[in-house]
Amino acid sequence: MEKIENRNWKANGQKYLKELQTFLDKAENIESEELRKEIIFQMLKCDKELTILAEEMFEKYKSEKEKSLKECEDD
């Protein structure tokens, strides 16, 4: 369940959604359908990799915080 909640961080980012919509609006003006699809697909691949990286960092920071709290409790 927590992993699903982590994925919502991006969908709740209004600036991100605005920029994504701007990109898609501009991509719609590309005359070549094949090129338009390739550009959108590549952008989505980049977005996926960035999302994975960000979520890994969230998990790392969460783990470090939990470890730090545990060490404080042990002292």
Per-residue pLDDT tens over the stretch 28-69: 999 999 999 999 999 999 999 999 999 999 999 989 888 888
pLDDT of residue 19: 93
Q: Long-range contacts made by residues 52-57, C-beta under 8 angstroms, separation at least 24?
A: 54/9, 54/10, 55/6, 55/7
pTM value > 0.75: no
Tell me the C-alpha distance between 49 and 47, whole Å.
5
1 confidence band (pLDDT: 50, 70, 90): very low
Q: Domain count of the chain?
A: 1
72 confidence band (pLDDT: 50, 70, 90): confident
Please give the residue range of the domain that contains residue 30. 2-74
Q: Average pLDDT of 15-39? A: 95
